[in-house]
Amino acid sequence: MDDSINDSPASAAELAELVASANRDRVPLVIAGNRSKLDWGGIVTGTNRIVSTRKLDRLIAHAVGDLTVTVEAGMPFVRLQAVLATAGQFLPLDPVYPDRATIGGIIATANTGSLRHRYGGVRDLLLGISFVRADGKIAKAGGRVVKNVAGYDMMKLFTGSYGTLGILTEVTLRVYPQPTNLGTVIITGAIDRLEQAAQILLASTLTPIAADVVSTALSQQLELSNTPSLVIKFATIPASIAEQSAQLLDIAKGLGLKAGIWQGTQSENLWSGIQTKIWGERPIGCKLGVRLTAAVATIATLDRLTDNTAPGVIHLNSGIGACALSNAKPISPLRSQCEASGGFLSVLQAPVEVKQHIDVWGYRGNTLPLMKQIKQQFDPLGILNPGKCF
């Protein structure tokens, strides 16, 4: 969108006035934060006018004792983490492009990573929102306290809505104490043995905050192994980390797998690399979802379809993951594998010419009419990100 018209309102009131005017004139709008994921999802059609929330970036309130924070939606993720760190707290998300992503954009795309194993997804951390409706009116839902559960759950509805239902202006989030002790266990080897190790881990009493299976290519890029790998992170007292890590090493040894413990900077670089290696080096980026029991098998399919060249990850406790592809050829068979495992494959990032010839979302569930009805109720004129989802 090099020829785009850009608007960056400095307040919620200015944004509301802009949207109201666009609604009256039936001018479609592209909704963005800091444009880090502007091209994710379907192709927005019929407009080149981009409305960004990047100037809505104030810290509204940080209730340290209540473990909540309220910020404007354009607040950069990295800046919020710095603010929370001064109180020994953090927002337990590990999104794509953490240095550029805004809080509103992370919510709109439901974007998180490995930490969802312990802390849940975006919607599990979202307590309240304010947003501008398609008619330009400002609305609110939820609250600033954890116990507020009354009313219609708009937070879950807006999470992953890609800016098609309204424009977030202010959000309240649950935060957590920042872990001070971390340890990572790496397990590598034959895929069938890794699958056994993964199932033993999921059925055990071990308490990692993250547990992923990564493809052969990603394992190689992270300098782990020339095979797929399991990567498991613990965050608790040192004695517990040591004990749980030892148990995993024993499990790996019993299955004939290689295992080791990473700590410090080496461990930190590993976990940040899982996102950057997937979302920075290939033209096509996909989001995957499968049953928990199919996570390792799906990574094996990804390896087979791409001759071990595609970086990919699936989070063991959720079955959600991502992969990067050099071309569109593996999309259809990999999507079939995911669907056979009760899941999905969505093409988020890809060249326009690829998206024009595939079904980006690939959704075949029975709730599509309901989703379209909700879109019609929230945005009857279709001015918010038209074509992004439907």
Q: Which amino acid is at 174?
A: R
Let me know whether 336 and 374 are in one domain.
Answer: no
Given a cut of 50, is residue 147 above it in pLDDT? no
Let me know whether 300 and 285 are in one domain.
Answer: yes
Let me know whether 40 and 162 are in one domain.
Answer: yes
Given a cut of 80, is residue 55 above it in pLDDT? yes
User: Residues 23, 25, 30, 34: is their CA dihedral positive or negative?
Assistant: negative
pLDDT single digits (tens) 164-208: 999 999 999 999 999 999 999 999 999 999 999 999 999 999 999
Let me know whether 155 and 225 are in one domain.
Answer: no
pLDDT single digits (tens) 318-338: 999 999 999 999 999 999 999
pLDDT at 4: 67
146 and 67 Cβ atoms separated by less than 8 Å: yes
Confidence of residue 3 (pLDDT cuts 50, 70, 90): low
**Lowest-confidence segment of 62-76, 140-154, 239-253, 357-371 by average pLDDT:** 140-154
pLDDT, the chain, mean: 93
Let me know whether 309 and 168 are in one domain.
Answer: no
Instruction: Quote the percentage of the chain above a pLDDT of 90.
Output: 86
Let me know whether 219 and 171 are in one domain.
Answer: no
| CATH number assigned to the domain comprising residue 63 | 3.30.465.10
Let me know whether 324 and 369 are in one domain.
Answer: no
Let me know whether 345 and 368 are in one domain.
Answer: no
Let me know whether 122 and 187 are in one domain.
Answer: no
Calpha distance 211→232 (Å, rounded): 4
Mean local confidence (pLDDT), 44-56: 93
Let me know whether 98 and 238 are in one domain.
Answer: no
Burial 80-113, CB ≥16 within 10 A → b, else e: bbeebeeeebbbbbbbbbbebbbbbbbbbbbbbb
Given a cut of 90, is residue 51 above it in pLDDT? yes
pLDDT at 125: 96
pLDDT at 45: 87
Let me know whether 222 and 302 are in one domain.
Answer: yes
Mean local confidence (pLDDT), 241-268: 95
pLDDT single digits (tens) 265-280: 889 889 999 988 998 7
Confidence of residue 360 (pLDDT cuts 50, 70, 90): very high
pLDDT at 145: 53
Domain count, the chain: 2
| CATH number assigned to the domain comprising residue 237 | 3.40.462.40
90 bridge partner residues? 176
DSSP state string for 201-217: HHHSS---SEEEEE-HH
Let me know whether 342 and 368 are in one domain.
Answer: no
Q: pTM for the complete prediction?
A: 0.94
Q: Which domain holds residue 118?
A: 1-178+364-390
